[in-house]
């Protein structure tokens, strides 16, 4: 995958605390970058109300392939697209790119299941969120 495979990007600056004792961004931090990009998109484009909405997204699966190390200080961007859009679930594909690098430093996949906040039971994806996600669907 390369940059032009992703319809939306979110810039992120690595932080001092992201580095581990080996001098690079720790592997668990990549998942935080993924989560930040996904939720920013859902809030800004899909209207997800993270504090009071009736529907929330639960991560049920995630993975990451690490290709190149990242370190502090570095400007990065997280590319986001949708690989599969179901009734109550969505599979995201993500890539983290160093600034100006056409090759990804990491590739990831995250699956969200949308659930009713009160019951934690799967529920259909709300229409405003579905429309936003559909616009990211990989062709």
Structural domains in the chain, sorted by start? 3-134 (3.10.129.10)
For residue 22, the 8-state DSSP code is T
Task: Please write the tens of the pLDDT for every residue from 82-128.
Answer: 999 999 999 999 999 998 899 999 999 999 999 999 999 999 999 99
Q: Which helix (H) or strand (E) holds 94?
A: strand 89-98
DSSP string of 38-89, one letter each residue: HHHHHHHHH---TTT-SEEEEEEEEEEEE-S---SS-EEEEEEEEEEE-SSE
Of 3, 8, 5, 4, whose CA–CA distance to 132 is shortest? Answer: 8
What is the residue-averaged pLDDT of the chain? 96
Per-residue pLDDT tens digits for 60-90: 999 999 999 999 999 999 999 999 999 999 9
> Does the structure show a pLDDT above 80 at 48?
yes
């Amino acid at each position: 995958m390369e940059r032009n495979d992703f319809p939306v990007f979110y810039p992120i600056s690595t932080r001092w605390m992201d580095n581990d004792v080996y001098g690079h961004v720790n592997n668990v931090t990549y998942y935080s970058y993924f989560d930040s990009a996904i939720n920013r998109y859902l809030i800004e484009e899909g209207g997800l109300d993270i504090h009071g909405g009736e529907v929330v997204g639960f991560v049920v699966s995630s993975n990451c392939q690490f290709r190149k190390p990242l370190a502090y200080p570095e400007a990065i961007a997280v590319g986001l697209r949708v690989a599969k859009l179901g009734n109550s679930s969505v599979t995201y594909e993500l890539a983290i790119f160093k600034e100006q690098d056409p090759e990804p430093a990491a590739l990831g996949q995250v699956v969200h299941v949308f659930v009713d906040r009160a019951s934690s039971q799967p529920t259909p994806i709300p229409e405003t969120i579905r429309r936003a996600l559909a616009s990211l669907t990989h062709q």
